[in-house]
Amino acid sequence: MSALGGVQSLGARSIAFVRDLGRFSVFSLRLGNAARRPPYRWRRLVREIYDTGVLSLVIVCISGLAVGMVLGLQGHNTLARFGATGSLGAVVGLSLIRELGPVLTSLLVAGRAGSAMAAEIASMVVTEQLDGLRMMSVDPLDFVVAPKAQAMLISMPLLSTLFVLFGIFGGYVVGVVVLGGDPGSYMSTLTDAVVFRDDVLGGFLKAGVFGLLVGLVATYRGYTALPTSTGVSAAATSTVVIASVATLIVDYFITALWGY
């Protein structure tokens, strides 16, 4: 009987998962419609970009610098074995532009801004502010939720680009200034190795997709949170977990499909 109970709970979980996925898709489409239709909330959007973009700037830039410095150090030590320390710029730049920039920025922003976004919407659910908006016949999806997702979509590529540039600078500081590499070959191998369509455009695409993903997951988790205090914390936690795992999985598929 207990074996049967296990099978039953597995089935229940599967059904709940598929139902959740379907709700997420419907939510995403409704959000897309709300964002597309005329009452554009420019001022709300500016405020949300401030919250997600501007307030994430410091951690993104510092993290980018640190990641670039580590890449410079590791890359220098490995390349020194082959006497190819001149190629350090290509190693640091390509890994940042293709992978580390978009992915790490997405993970950071999911933790920093995504969780806050979900918690804010969830606490509005708990305190019935969204119901209050509905009573005034203001669509909360249009007024509260859509600008948040849009802000994430806009901020992510910009933050990712800054992450990459700070990383390249960090690699330069360690590889050239500290360890005494050649400054000219750092930049020339970098610009020779990087191709606009494959690398730079691919990186922008990744960052945009991750921005959309994190924005949708955060707003969905907040919007569908249970109206309790644990509902708020659960929304914030599950946003970080789901957005991070989804970023890493989606990253693989974009890399494979973009034809690197």
Partner 1 sequence: MRESPRQELWVGMFVLVGLAAAAYLSIAIGNLRAGGAGGLEIVATFDEIGGLKPRARVVVGGVKVGQVKAIDLADDFRARVTLDVDEQLPLPADTSASILTSGVLGDQYVALEPGGDPTTLAAGDEIQFTQSAVVLERLIGKLIQNLGSGSSGDGGADGSDDAGGEAADEGGGAE
CA quadruple 20, 25, 30, 35: dihedral, nearest 10: 120
Q: List the one residue out of 98, 117, 144 whose CA is nearest residue 221.
A: 117
Q: What is the spatial distance between Cα 124 and Cα 131, in angstroms, rounded to a whole number?
A: 9
Nearer CB in complex with partner 1: 196/252: 196
In angstroms, the Cα distances linking 69 to 65, 74, 87, 175, 254 are 6, 9, 15, 8, 27
SS3 230: helix
Min separation Cβ 123 and partner 1, Å: 16
Min separation Cβ 227 and partner 1, Å: 23
| Number of other CB atoms surrounding residue 1 within 10 Å | 5
Contacting residues toward partner 1, per CB under 8 A:
43, 46-47, 49-50, 53-54, 57, 93, 97, 154-155, 157-159, 161-162, 164-165, 168, 190-192, 194-196, 199-201, 204
Min separation Cβ 256 and partner 1, Å: 21
State the residue for tokens 């977990």. Answer: 241
Nearer CB in complex with partner 1: 27/51: 51
Min separation Cβ 49 and partner 1, Å: 5
Please give the span between the terminal C-alpha atoms of the chain, in angstroms, as a whole number: 52
Nearer CB in complex with partner 1: 34/164: 164
**What DSSP state is assigned to residue 55?**
G
Nearer CB in complex with partner 1: 30/182: 182
Nearer CB in complex with partner 1: 22/39: 39
Min separation Cβ 20 and partner 1, Å: 32
